[in-house]
Structure 1
Amino acid sequence: MAEYTPVPEFAKGPDIPDSGYLVTELGGGAYGISSGMVNTMFLVTKRGVVVVDAPPDLDERLLAGIEEVTSNPITHLIYSHAHADHIGSAHLLVRNGLKIIAHEATAEFIQESHDDHRPLPNETFSGTRTELKIDGELLVLEYKGDWHQPGNLFIHLPEQRILTAIDSFTVKNAPFFRLLFAPHVPAYFTAMDDMLEYDFDTVVSGHMSLFGTPEDVATNREYIQDLRTSAAEALGEVDLRQAAADAGVPSDNRQAQLKVWMDAVVARAAEHMPESWDQRLGGNDIFLADNLNAVAWSVFID
Protein backbone atom coordinates (compact mmCIF):
# COMPACT_ATOMS: atom_id res chain seq x y z
CA MET A 1 0.00 0.00 0.00
CA ALA A 2 1.32 3.41 -0.96
CA GLU A 3 2.34 5.76 1.85
CA TYR A 4 1.46 9.43 1.69
CA THR A 5 2.67 12.39 3.66
CA PRO A 6 -0.10 13.37 6.11
CA VAL A 7 -2.09 16.36 4.94
CA PRO A 8 -1.31 19.35 7.18
CA GLU A 9 -4.24 20.35 9.33
CA PHE A 10 -4.41 23.82 7.77
CA ALA A 11 -4.84 22.26 4.31
CA LYS A 12 -7.74 19.94 5.18
CA GLY A 13 -10.49 22.49 5.45
CA PRO A 14 -13.71 22.14 7.45
CA ASP A 15 -15.58 18.87 7.81
CA ILE A 16 -18.54 18.43 5.49
CA PRO A 17 -21.83 17.67 7.30
CA ASP A 18 -23.88 14.55 6.61
CA SER A 19 -25.95 16.64 4.21
CA GLY A 20 -22.99 16.43 1.81
CA TYR A 21 -22.46 20.17 1.49
CA LEU A 22 -21.30 23.14 3.51
CA VAL A 23 -22.38 26.74 2.90
CA THR A 24 -19.94 29.48 3.93
CA GLU A 25 -20.90 33.15 4.10
CA LEU A 26 -18.41 35.23 2.13
CA GLY A 27 -20.01 38.63 2.72
CA GLY A 28 -22.14 41.09 0.79
CA GLY A 29 -24.77 38.50 -0.08
CA ALA A 30 -22.18 36.07 -1.49
CA TYR A 31 -21.82 32.49 -0.30
CA GLY A 32 -19.42 29.68 -0.98
CA ILE A 33 -20.61 26.09 -1.13
CA SER A 34 -18.51 22.93 -1.08
CA SER A 35 -18.91 19.17 -1.19
CA GLY A 36 -15.39 18.72 0.10
CA MET A 37 -14.10 17.78 -3.36
CA VAL A 38 -15.41 20.82 -5.26
CA ASN A 39 -16.51 24.32 -4.36
CA THR A 40 -18.21 27.24 -6.04
CA MET A 41 -20.19 30.33 -5.06
CA PHE A 42 -23.50 32.10 -5.47
CA LEU A 43 -24.69 35.66 -4.95
CA VAL A 44 -28.09 36.54 -3.49
CA THR A 45 -29.48 39.72 -5.03
CA LYS A 46 -32.65 41.68 -4.24
CA ARG A 47 -34.77 39.55 -6.53
CA GLY A 48 -32.78 36.46 -7.40
CA VAL A 49 -29.66 34.36 -7.17
CA VAL A 50 -26.62 34.38 -9.44
CA VAL A 51 -24.80 31.02 -9.45
CA VAL A 52 -21.32 30.29 -10.74
CA ASP A 53 -21.15 26.77 -12.17
CA ALA A 54 -23.03 23.63 -11.14
CA PRO A 55 -20.59 20.85 -10.22
CA PRO A 56 -21.88 17.24 -10.40
CA ASP A 57 -20.19 16.45 -7.09
CA LEU A 58 -22.71 18.82 -5.53
CA ASP A 59 -25.62 17.88 -7.86
CA GLU A 60 -28.98 18.69 -6.23
CA ARG A 61 -27.21 19.64 -3.01
CA LEU A 62 -26.30 22.90 -4.70
CA LEU A 63 -29.99 23.74 -4.83
CA ALA A 64 -30.41 22.64 -1.22
CA GLY A 65 -27.57 24.90 -0.13
CA ILE A 66 -29.05 27.88 -1.92
CA GLU A 67 -32.50 27.20 -0.48
CA GLU A 68 -30.90 27.08 2.96
CA VAL A 69 -29.97 30.74 2.51
CA THR A 70 -32.78 32.27 0.42
CA SER A 71 -36.10 31.58 -1.24
CA ASN A 72 -35.16 33.83 -4.18
CA PRO A 73 -35.19 32.08 -7.55
CA ILE A 74 -32.03 31.35 -9.51
CA THR A 75 -32.04 33.94 -12.28
CA HIS A 76 -28.49 33.73 -13.65
CA LEU A 77 -25.96 30.93 -14.11
CA ILE A 78 -22.41 31.85 -15.12
CA TYR A 79 -20.15 29.21 -16.61
CA SER A 80 -16.55 29.69 -15.49
CA HIS A 81 -15.50 27.34 -18.28
CA ALA A 82 -16.83 24.27 -20.07
CA HIS A 83 -15.40 21.32 -18.13
CA ALA A 84 -18.03 18.84 -17.00
CA ASP A 85 -16.70 18.48 -13.46
CA HIS A 86 -17.77 22.09 -12.87
CA ILE A 87 -20.93 22.54 -14.95
CA GLY A 88 -22.12 18.94 -15.43
CA SER A 89 -25.17 19.48 -13.22
CA ALA A 90 -26.28 22.69 -14.90
CA HIS A 91 -29.36 20.95 -16.29
CA LEU A 92 -30.71 20.73 -12.74
CA LEU A 93 -30.83 24.52 -12.52
CA VAL A 94 -32.64 25.18 -15.77
CA ARG A 95 -35.92 27.06 -15.33
CA ASN A 96 -37.93 29.35 -17.59
CA GLY A 97 -36.13 32.65 -17.92
CA LEU A 98 -32.80 31.42 -16.58
CA LYS A 99 -29.93 33.35 -18.17
CA ILE A 100 -26.88 31.17 -18.75
CA ILE A 101 -23.84 33.33 -19.40
CA ALA A 102 -20.43 32.29 -20.76
CA HIS A 103 -17.64 33.28 -23.08
CA GLU A 104 -18.30 32.32 -26.69
CA ALA A 105 -15.34 29.90 -26.61
CA THR A 106 -17.08 28.03 -23.79
CA ALA A 107 -20.31 27.94 -25.79
CA GLU A 108 -18.48 26.47 -28.78
CA PHE A 109 -16.94 23.74 -26.65
CA ILE A 110 -20.29 22.81 -25.10
CA GLN A 111 -21.98 22.74 -28.48
CA GLU A 112 -19.39 20.28 -29.74
CA SER A 113 -19.73 18.09 -26.63
CA HIS A 114 -23.44 17.25 -27.21
CA ASP A 115 -23.98 16.89 -23.46
CA ASP A 116 -27.53 17.45 -22.24
CA HIS A 117 -26.21 18.01 -18.72
CA ARG A 118 -24.40 21.14 -19.93
CA PRO A 119 -27.09 23.35 -21.50
CA LEU A 120 -25.88 25.85 -24.05
CA PRO A 121 -25.52 29.39 -22.74
CA ASN A 122 -28.14 31.81 -24.03
CA GLU A 123 -25.96 34.87 -23.46
CA THR A 124 -22.33 34.95 -24.59
CA PHE A 125 -19.64 37.56 -25.05
CA SER A 126 -16.52 37.74 -27.14
CA GLY A 127 -13.28 39.50 -26.44
CA THR A 128 -11.71 39.86 -23.04
CA ARG A 129 -14.22 41.54 -20.75
CA THR A 130 -17.87 42.14 -19.97
CA GLU A 131 -19.66 43.66 -17.00
CA LEU A 132 -22.95 42.41 -15.60
CA LYS A 133 -25.18 44.65 -13.51
CA ILE A 134 -27.75 42.39 -11.83
CA ASP A 135 -30.18 43.96 -9.35
CA GLY A 136 -27.56 46.59 -8.61
CA GLU A 137 -24.75 44.06 -8.11
CA LEU A 138 -21.67 44.30 -10.32
CA LEU A 139 -19.90 41.22 -11.68
CA VAL A 140 -16.91 41.62 -13.99
CA LEU A 141 -16.13 38.68 -16.28
CA GLU A 142 -12.67 38.65 -17.82
CA TYR A 143 -10.99 36.28 -20.24
CA LYS A 144 -7.24 36.77 -20.00
CA GLY A 145 -5.99 33.78 -21.94
CA ASP A 146 -6.17 30.00 -21.95
CA TRP A 147 -4.57 29.27 -18.58
CA HIS A 148 -6.86 26.26 -18.11
CA GLN A 149 -9.20 26.00 -21.10
CA PRO A 150 -10.33 28.34 -23.89
CA GLY A 151 -13.03 30.57 -22.45
CA ASN A 152 -11.94 30.26 -18.81
CA LEU A 153 -13.03 33.30 -16.84
CA PHE A 154 -11.95 35.36 -13.89
CA ILE A 155 -15.21 36.48 -12.24
CA HIS A 156 -14.68 39.49 -10.01
CA LEU A 157 -17.21 40.87 -7.54
CA PRO A 158 -15.55 44.18 -6.64
CA GLU A 159 -18.10 45.24 -4.00
CA GLN A 160 -17.85 41.89 -2.21
CA ARG A 161 -14.09 41.74 -2.84
CA ILE A 162 -14.36 38.21 -4.20
CA LEU A 163 -12.47 36.69 -7.12
CA THR A 164 -13.79 33.46 -8.58
CA ALA A 165 -11.09 31.70 -10.61
CA ILE A 166 -12.21 28.12 -11.01
CA ASP A 167 -9.40 25.60 -11.57
CA SER A 168 -6.71 28.23 -11.15
CA PHE A 169 -5.05 26.55 -8.16
CA THR A 170 -5.97 24.58 -5.04
CA VAL A 171 -6.09 26.62 -1.85
CA LYS A 172 -3.39 25.58 0.65
CA ASN A 173 -2.67 22.50 -1.49
CA ALA A 174 -0.38 21.74 -4.39
CA PRO A 175 -1.97 22.04 -7.83
CA PHE A 176 -2.97 18.62 -9.00
CA PHE A 177 -2.54 16.73 -12.27
CA ARG A 178 -0.04 18.79 -14.26
CA LEU A 179 -0.96 22.25 -12.95
CA LEU A 180 -4.66 21.39 -13.18
CA PHE A 181 -4.20 20.22 -16.80
CA ALA A 182 -2.84 23.59 -17.92
CA PRO A 183 -2.72 23.41 -21.74
CA HIS A 184 0.03 26.03 -21.96
CA VAL A 185 2.23 26.27 -18.90
CA PRO A 186 3.50 29.84 -19.49
CA ALA A 187 -0.14 31.01 -19.56
CA TYR A 188 -0.69 29.33 -16.20
CA PHE A 189 2.24 31.26 -14.72
CA THR A 190 0.86 34.49 -16.18
CA ALA A 191 -2.56 33.75 -14.69
CA MET A 192 -1.11 33.77 -11.19
CA ASP A 193 0.32 37.23 -11.85
CA ASP A 194 -3.03 38.35 -13.30
CA MET A 195 -4.92 37.15 -10.22
CA LEU A 196 -2.75 39.20 -7.90
CA GLU A 197 -3.65 42.35 -9.83
CA TYR A 198 -7.28 42.10 -8.67
CA ASP A 199 -8.56 43.76 -5.52
CA PHE A 200 -10.04 40.93 -3.46
CA ASP A 201 -10.10 39.36 -0.02
CA THR A 202 -11.49 35.94 -0.97
CA VAL A 203 -10.76 33.65 -3.91
CA VAL A 204 -13.01 30.76 -4.96
CA SER A 205 -10.84 28.28 -6.83
CA GLY A 206 -13.15 25.36 -7.49
CA HIS A 207 -11.76 22.35 -5.62
CA MET A 208 -11.66 21.07 -2.05
CA SER A 209 -13.47 22.92 0.73
CA LEU A 210 -11.28 25.93 1.39
CA PHE A 211 -11.74 29.46 0.10
CA GLY A 212 -8.50 31.38 -0.17
CA THR A 213 -6.86 34.77 0.13
CA PRO A 214 -4.38 36.78 -1.95
CA GLU A 215 -1.68 35.25 0.26
CA ASP A 216 -2.76 31.78 -0.93
CA VAL A 217 -2.42 32.89 -4.54
CA ALA A 218 1.03 34.27 -3.78
CA THR A 219 2.02 30.99 -2.14
CA ASN A 220 0.97 29.03 -5.23
CA ARG A 221 2.93 31.48 -7.38
CA GLU A 222 6.02 30.93 -5.23
CA TYR A 223 5.53 27.17 -5.46
CA ILE A 224 5.32 27.06 -9.25
CA GLN A 225 8.33 29.33 -9.51
CA ASP A 226 10.25 26.77 -7.43
CA LEU A 227 8.99 24.09 -9.81
CA ARG A 228 10.37 26.04 -12.76
CA THR A 229 13.72 26.76 -11.11
CA SER A 230 14.15 23.12 -10.08
CA ALA A 231 13.15 21.84 -13.52
CA ALA A 232 15.57 24.20 -15.26
CA GLU A 233 18.43 23.06 -13.02
CA ALA A 234 17.63 19.40 -13.66
CA LEU A 235 17.44 19.90 -17.43
CA GLY A 236 20.96 21.31 -17.31
CA GLU A 237 22.23 18.31 -15.34
CA VAL A 238 20.60 15.26 -16.94
CA ASP A 239 21.86 14.18 -20.37
CA LEU A 240 19.38 12.33 -22.56
CA ARG A 241 21.79 9.76 -24.00
CA GLN A 242 23.48 9.14 -20.69
CA ALA A 243 20.14 8.66 -18.93
CA ALA A 244 19.06 6.21 -21.63
CA ALA A 245 22.33 4.30 -21.42
CA ASP A 246 22.13 4.15 -17.63
CA ALA A 247 18.64 2.65 -17.96
CA GLY A 248 19.78 0.12 -20.56
CA VAL A 249 17.52 1.52 -23.28
CA PRO A 250 18.43 0.30 -26.81
CA SER A 251 19.79 3.07 -29.03
CA ASP A 252 17.04 2.51 -31.62
CA ASN A 253 14.17 2.93 -29.14
CA ARG A 254 13.89 6.70 -29.13
CA GLN A 255 10.48 6.74 -27.47
CA ALA A 256 11.92 4.91 -24.47
CA GLN A 257 14.94 7.22 -24.46
CA LEU A 258 12.68 10.27 -24.13
CA LYS A 259 10.64 8.62 -21.40
CA VAL A 260 13.57 7.59 -19.19
CA TRP A 261 15.27 10.94 -19.77
CA MET A 262 12.27 12.96 -18.63
CA ASP A 263 11.72 10.58 -15.70
CA ALA A 264 15.32 11.24 -14.70
CA VAL A 265 14.87 15.00 -15.11
CA VAL A 266 11.78 14.94 -12.91
CA ALA A 267 13.54 12.84 -10.27
CA ARG A 268 16.50 15.24 -10.22
CA ALA A 269 14.22 18.27 -10.12
CA ALA A 270 12.38 16.79 -7.14
CA GLU A 271 15.71 16.67 -5.30
CA HIS A 272 16.12 20.40 -5.92
CA MET A 273 12.67 21.32 -4.59
CA PRO A 274 12.72 22.77 -1.06
CA GLU A 275 11.60 20.13 1.43
CA SER A 276 9.54 22.77 3.24
CA TRP A 277 6.76 22.46 0.66
CA ASP A 278 5.58 19.23 2.30
CA GLN A 279 4.70 21.35 5.34
CA ARG A 280 3.49 24.42 3.42
CA LEU A 281 1.08 22.74 0.99
CA GLY A 282 -1.01 19.61 1.23
CA GLY A 283 -0.54 16.97 -1.46
CA ASN A 284 2.89 18.10 -2.58
CA ASP A 285 4.21 14.52 -2.44
CA ILE A 286 1.23 13.26 -4.43
CA PHE A 287 1.41 15.67 -7.35
CA LEU A 288 5.06 16.78 -7.35
CA ALA A 289 6.14 14.48 -10.20
CA ASP A 290 3.08 15.39 -12.28
CA ASN A 291 3.70 19.10 -11.85
CA LEU A 292 7.43 18.87 -12.45
CA ASN A 293 6.82 16.87 -15.62
CA ALA A 294 4.55 19.58 -17.02
CA VAL A 295 6.90 22.39 -16.04
CA ALA A 296 10.06 20.62 -17.24
CA TRP A 297 8.61 19.99 -20.69
CA SER A 298 7.56 23.64 -20.80
CA VAL A 299 11.02 24.88 -19.83
CA PHE A 300 12.47 22.60 -22.51
CA ILE A 301 10.18 23.53 -25.42
CA ASP A 302 8.38 26.83 -24.74
Structure 2
Amino acid sequence: MLRAIRSITPLPISHVVYSHSHGDHIGAAYTLGSPDNITFSYTLRVSNQSLELDHKGANHAAGNIFVWAPLQKVLMLVDIVYPGWVPYYELGVAQNIPGYVKSHEQILSYDFKHYIGGHLNRIGTREDVLISQAYVKDLFNACAQAMHLSTNPNSTLYAPTIQAAVGNAAPGNSWLVLDTVNNILSSYANNVTNEKWKGKLAGLDVYGLSNAEAMLEALLIDWGINGAFGVTNAPV
Protein backbone atom coordinates (compact mmCIF):
# COMPACT_ATOMS: atom_id res chain seq x y z
CA MET A 1 0.00 0.00 0.00
CA LEU A 2 2.78 2.42 0.89
CA ARG A 3 4.62 1.61 -2.33
CA ALA A 4 1.42 2.24 -4.30
CA ILE A 5 0.92 5.62 -2.59
CA ARG A 6 4.51 6.64 -3.24
CA SER A 7 4.14 5.71 -6.91
CA ILE A 8 1.45 8.39 -7.15
CA THR A 9 2.61 11.21 -4.85
CA PRO A 10 5.53 12.23 -2.63
CA LEU A 11 3.18 14.18 -0.33
CA PRO A 12 2.66 12.98 3.25
CA ILE A 13 -0.45 11.00 4.17
CA SER A 14 -2.84 13.51 5.73
CA HIS A 15 -5.90 11.35 6.40
CA VAL A 16 -6.86 7.68 6.70
CA VAL A 17 -10.52 6.89 5.97
CA TYR A 18 -11.71 3.38 6.72
CA SER A 19 -15.10 1.74 6.49
CA HIS A 20 -15.19 -0.11 9.82
CA SER A 21 -13.01 -1.69 12.47
CA HIS A 22 -12.64 -5.26 11.14
CA GLY A 23 -9.05 -6.36 10.73
CA ASP A 24 -9.39 -7.50 7.11
CA HIS A 25 -10.09 -3.88 6.15
CA ILE A 26 -8.03 -1.74 8.54
CA GLY A 27 -5.64 -4.14 10.26
CA ALA A 28 -2.47 -2.55 8.83
CA ALA A 29 -3.48 1.07 9.47
CA TYR A 30 -0.64 1.47 11.97
CA THR A 31 1.78 1.55 9.04
CA LEU A 32 0.16 4.79 7.83
CA GLY A 33 0.53 6.76 11.07
CA SER A 34 -1.86 7.58 13.93
CA PRO A 35 -4.58 9.98 12.75
CA ASP A 36 -7.08 11.55 15.13
CA ASN A 37 -10.51 9.92 15.37
CA ILE A 38 -13.52 11.91 14.13
CA THR A 39 -17.20 11.15 14.74
CA PHE A 40 -19.92 11.29 12.08
CA SER A 41 -21.40 12.83 9.95
CA TYR A 42 -18.33 14.52 8.58
CA THR A 43 -17.19 15.99 5.29
CA LEU A 44 -13.49 15.61 4.63
CA ARG A 45 -12.05 18.21 2.25
CA VAL A 46 -8.52 18.04 0.89
CA SER A 47 -7.67 20.59 -1.80
CA ASN A 48 -10.49 20.35 -4.37
CA GLN A 49 -11.58 16.84 -3.32
CA SER A 50 -14.21 15.89 -0.75
CA LEU A 51 -15.56 12.76 0.92
CA GLU A 52 -18.84 12.70 2.82
CA LEU A 53 -18.69 10.21 5.68
CA ASP A 54 -21.91 9.05 7.34
CA HIS A 55 -22.82 6.56 10.00
CA LYS A 56 -26.46 5.54 9.53
CA GLY A 57 -26.65 2.87 12.24
CA ALA A 58 -25.41 -0.66 12.76
CA ASN A 59 -25.57 -3.11 9.86
CA HIS A 60 -22.58 -5.32 9.02
CA ALA A 61 -20.80 -3.79 12.01
CA ALA A 62 -21.71 -1.25 14.65
CA GLY A 63 -19.43 1.40 13.14
CA ASN A 64 -19.81 0.69 9.43
CA ILE A 65 -19.82 3.95 7.48
CA PHE A 66 -20.92 5.25 4.10
CA VAL A 67 -18.06 6.89 2.18
CA TRP A 68 -19.41 9.09 -0.60
CA ALA A 69 -17.31 10.88 -3.23
CA PRO A 70 -19.88 13.21 -4.83
CA LEU A 71 -17.63 14.57 -7.58
CA GLN A 72 -16.75 11.07 -8.81
CA LYS A 73 -20.18 9.62 -7.90
CA VAL A 74 -18.48 6.76 -6.06
CA LEU A 75 -20.03 5.21 -2.95
CA MET A 76 -18.27 2.77 -0.65
CA LEU A 77 -20.10 0.69 1.96
CA VAL A 78 -18.14 -2.41 2.87
CA ASP A 79 -19.45 -5.95 3.43
CA ILE A 80 -23.08 -5.27 2.47
CA VAL A 81 -23.36 -5.83 -1.30
CA TYR A 82 -21.06 -8.29 -3.07
CA PRO A 83 -21.52 -7.46 -6.78
CA GLY A 84 -22.51 -10.57 -8.70
CA TRP A 85 -22.39 -12.78 -5.61
CA VAL A 86 -24.56 -13.76 -2.67
CA PRO A 87 -23.37 -12.34 0.66
CA TYR A 88 -20.53 -13.98 2.51
CA TYR A 89 -21.27 -16.43 5.36
CA GLU A 90 -24.32 -15.51 7.48
CA LEU A 91 -25.18 -12.41 5.44
CA GLY A 92 -21.63 -11.17 5.62
CA VAL A 93 -21.54 -11.92 9.38
CA ALA A 94 -23.88 -8.98 9.86
CA GLN A 95 -24.05 -7.83 13.47
CA ASN A 96 -27.46 -6.21 12.91
CA ILE A 97 -29.55 -7.94 10.25
CA PRO A 98 -32.48 -5.46 10.23
CA GLY A 99 -29.86 -2.74 9.70
CA TYR A 100 -28.23 -4.87 7.02
CA VAL A 101 -31.55 -5.21 5.18
CA LYS A 102 -32.28 -1.47 5.55
CA SER A 103 -28.83 -0.49 4.30
CA HIS A 104 -29.76 -1.45 0.73
CA GLU A 105 -32.42 1.27 0.72
CA GLN A 106 -29.92 3.70 2.23
CA ILE A 107 -27.37 2.88 -0.49
CA LEU A 108 -29.94 3.54 -3.19
CA SER A 109 -30.66 7.00 -1.76
CA TYR A 110 -27.29 8.10 -3.16
CA ASP A 111 -26.91 9.17 -6.79
CA PHE A 112 -23.88 6.92 -7.32
CA LYS A 113 -22.42 5.54 -10.53
CA HIS A 114 -19.83 3.20 -9.00
CA TYR A 115 -20.21 1.10 -5.85
CA ILE A 116 -17.28 -0.25 -3.81
CA GLY A 117 -18.28 -3.28 -1.74
CA GLY A 118 -14.87 -4.22 -0.37
CA HIS A 119 -14.59 -7.81 -1.61
CA LEU A 120 -14.44 -10.03 -4.68
CA ASN A 121 -13.60 -9.22 -8.23
CA ARG A 122 -15.30 -6.08 -9.53
CA ILE A 123 -16.78 -2.67 -8.82
CA GLY A 124 -20.56 -2.61 -8.49
CA THR A 125 -23.34 -0.69 -10.16
CA ARG A 126 -26.78 0.47 -9.08
CA GLU A 127 -28.19 -2.67 -10.70
CA ASP A 128 -25.97 -4.83 -8.47
CA VAL A 129 -27.42 -3.16 -5.39
CA LEU A 130 -30.98 -3.67 -6.64
CA ILE A 131 -30.22 -7.34 -7.31
CA SER A 132 -28.76 -7.80 -3.83
CA GLN A 133 -31.79 -6.08 -2.31
CA ALA A 134 -34.13 -8.38 -4.22
CA TYR A 135 -32.20 -11.48 -3.12
CA VAL A 136 -32.31 -10.41 0.53
CA LYS A 137 -36.04 -9.69 0.30
CA ASP A 138 -36.72 -13.09 -1.27
CA LEU A 139 -34.65 -14.78 1.43
CA PHE A 140 -36.61 -12.93 4.14
CA ASN A 141 -39.92 -13.96 2.59
CA ALA A 142 -38.81 -17.59 2.19
CA CYS A 143 -37.77 -17.75 5.85
CA ALA A 144 -41.04 -16.16 6.94
CA GLN A 145 -42.95 -18.65 4.80
CA ALA A 146 -41.05 -21.51 6.43
CA MET A 147 -41.87 -20.13 9.88
CA HIS A 148 -45.58 -19.89 9.08
CA LEU A 149 -45.71 -23.36 7.52
CA SER A 150 -44.11 -24.79 10.65
CA THR A 151 -47.18 -23.73 12.64
CA ASN A 152 -49.68 -25.29 10.22
CA PRO A 153 -50.40 -28.99 10.90
CA ASN A 154 -51.85 -29.29 7.38
CA SER A 155 -48.64 -28.23 5.61
CA THR A 156 -46.28 -30.80 4.13
CA LEU A 157 -43.42 -29.08 5.93
CA TYR A 158 -45.07 -29.69 9.28
CA ALA A 159 -46.36 -33.20 8.73
CA PRO A 160 -44.63 -35.52 8.42
CA THR A 161 -41.28 -33.67 8.07
CA ILE A 162 -41.11 -31.75 11.36
CA GLN A 163 -43.14 -34.30 13.30
CA ALA A 164 -40.84 -37.14 12.24
CA ALA A 165 -37.65 -35.18 12.87
CA VAL A 166 -38.74 -34.08 16.35
CA GLY A 167 -39.86 -37.60 17.15
CA ASN A 168 -36.42 -38.94 16.22
CA ALA A 169 -34.56 -36.38 18.33
CA ALA A 170 -33.23 -37.46 21.70
CA PRO A 171 -36.02 -37.28 24.29
CA GLY A 172 -35.58 -34.38 26.68
CA ASN A 173 -32.85 -32.70 24.61
CA SER A 174 -34.54 -29.37 23.96
CA TRP A 175 -31.62 -27.87 22.06
CA LEU A 176 -31.54 -30.84 19.69
CA VAL A 177 -35.26 -30.51 19.01
CA LEU A 178 -34.91 -26.77 18.33
CA ASP A 179 -31.84 -27.27 16.15
CA THR A 180 -33.56 -30.06 14.22
CA VAL A 181 -36.55 -27.86 13.42
CA ASN A 182 -34.41 -24.83 12.56
CA ASN A 183 -32.32 -26.95 10.17
CA ILE A 184 -35.49 -28.06 8.39
CA LEU A 185 -36.81 -24.48 8.13
CA SER A 186 -33.54 -22.93 6.96
CA SER A 187 -33.04 -25.71 4.40
CA TYR A 188 -36.57 -25.12 3.11
CA ALA A 189 -35.97 -21.36 2.82
CA ASN A 190 -32.60 -21.93 1.16
CA ASN A 191 -34.10 -24.29 -1.42
CA VAL A 192 -36.97 -21.90 -2.22
CA THR A 193 -34.57 -18.96 -2.62
CA ASN A 194 -31.99 -20.89 -4.63
CA GLU A 195 -34.65 -22.11 -7.05
CA LYS A 196 -35.32 -18.48 -7.97
CA TRP A 197 -31.73 -17.23 -7.94
CA LYS A 198 -29.84 -20.13 -9.46
CA GLY A 199 -27.68 -18.83 -12.31
CA LYS A 200 -28.23 -15.19 -11.29
CA LEU A 201 -25.86 -14.86 -8.33
CA ALA A 202 -22.65 -16.77 -7.72
CA GLY A 203 -21.96 -18.57 -4.46
CA LEU A 204 -25.45 -19.86 -3.69
CA ASP A 205 -23.99 -23.33 -3.28
CA VAL A 206 -21.43 -22.07 -0.77
CA TYR A 207 -23.22 -19.55 1.45
CA GLY A 208 -26.92 -19.82 0.57
CA LEU A 209 -27.70 -22.07 3.53
CA SER A 210 -25.79 -20.04 6.12
CA ASN A 211 -27.52 -16.88 4.85
CA ALA A 212 -30.88 -18.60 5.33
CA GLU A 213 -29.88 -19.69 8.84
CA ALA A 214 -28.88 -16.15 9.78
CA MET A 215 -32.06 -14.65 8.35
CA LEU A 216 -34.23 -17.26 10.06
CA GLU A 217 -32.66 -16.41 13.43
CA ALA A 218 -33.17 -12.69 12.78
CA LEU A 219 -36.86 -13.26 12.05
CA LEU A 220 -37.12 -14.91 15.45
CA ILE A 221 -35.18 -12.44 17.58
CA ASP A 222 -35.55 -9.15 15.66
CA TRP A 223 -38.88 -9.32 13.84
CA GLY A 224 -40.80 -11.53 16.31
CA ILE A 225 -41.81 -14.15 13.74
CA ASN A 226 -41.44 -17.20 15.94
CA GLY A 227 -42.70 -20.18 13.95
CA ALA A 228 -43.21 -23.57 15.51
CA PHE A 229 -42.08 -22.60 19.03
CA GLY A 230 -43.88 -19.31 19.53
CA VAL A 231 -46.49 -16.81 18.46
CA THR A 232 -46.23 -14.80 15.26
CA ASN A 233 -46.10 -11.16 16.31
CA ALA A 234 -45.16 -9.41 13.08
CA PRO A 235 -46.54 -9.38 9.53
CA VAL A 236 -44.47 -10.77 6.67
What TM-score comes out, normalization by structure 2 length?
Answer: 0.84
> 2:53 matched to 1:133?
no
**8 Å contact kept, 2:115–2:123:** yes
Aligned to 1:76: 15
Q: Would the aligned equivalents of 1:244 and 1:260 in 2 still touch at CA under 8 Å?
A: no
Partner of 1:175: 87
Q: Show the counterpart of 1:278.
A: 198
Among 71, 75, 92, the alignment partner of 2:31 is: 92
Written as runs of structure 1 = structure 2, the 5 A alignment for 1:58-77 is: 62-77=1-16
Query: 2:141 maps to what in 1?
Result: 229
Higher helix share: 2
Give the whole-Å Cα distance in 2 for the aligned partners of 1:79 and 1:123: 11
- Name the CA distance, whole Å, in 2 between partners of 1:144 and 1:284: 29
Aligned to 1:194: 106
Query: By percentage of residues, which structure has more strand?
Result: 1
**Structure 1 unaligned regions, length at least 5:** 1-61, 101-121
Q: How far apart are 1:274 and its partner, in Å?
A: 4.8
The residue aligned with 2:181 is 261
C-alpha displacement of 1:292: 0.5
User: Cα distance, 1:275 vs. partner?
Assistant: 2.4
In 2, Cα distance between equivalents of 1:271 and 1:124: 44
Tell whether 2:162 aligns with 1:243.
yes
Q: Which blocks of at least 5 consecutive residues in structure 2 are unaligned?
A: 152-157, 223-236
Deviations 1:256-292 (A, max 9, x none): 1111111000111123215242311111111011110
User: 1:203 is matched with which residue?
Assistant: 115
2:211 & 2:192 partners in 1: Cα distance? 14
Q: Which residue of 2 aligns with 1:149?
A: 61
SS of equivalent residue, structure 1 residue 273: helix
Paired AA for residue 186 in structure 1: P
Instruction: Assess, with a 3 A threshold, how the Cα gap between structure 1 residues 278 and 64 changes in structure 2: closer, same or farther.
Output: farther
Between 1:217-226 and 1:247-256, the stretch displaced more is 247-256
Q: Number of aligned pairs?
A: 214
8 Å CA contact retained: 2:190, 2:208:
yes
Q: Identity of paired residues, percent?
A: 29
User: What secondary structure sits across from 2:184 in the alignment?
Assistant: helix
| Corresponding position of 2:72 | 160
* Secondary structure at 1:258 match in 2: helix
Displacement of 1:244 in angstroms is 6.3
1:91 is paired with a residue of what secondary structure? helix
Q: CA deviation at 1:301?
A: 2.7
In the other structure, the counterpart of 1:287 is 207
Deviation, 1:249, is: 0.8
SS of the residue corresponding to residue 198 of structure 2 reads: helix
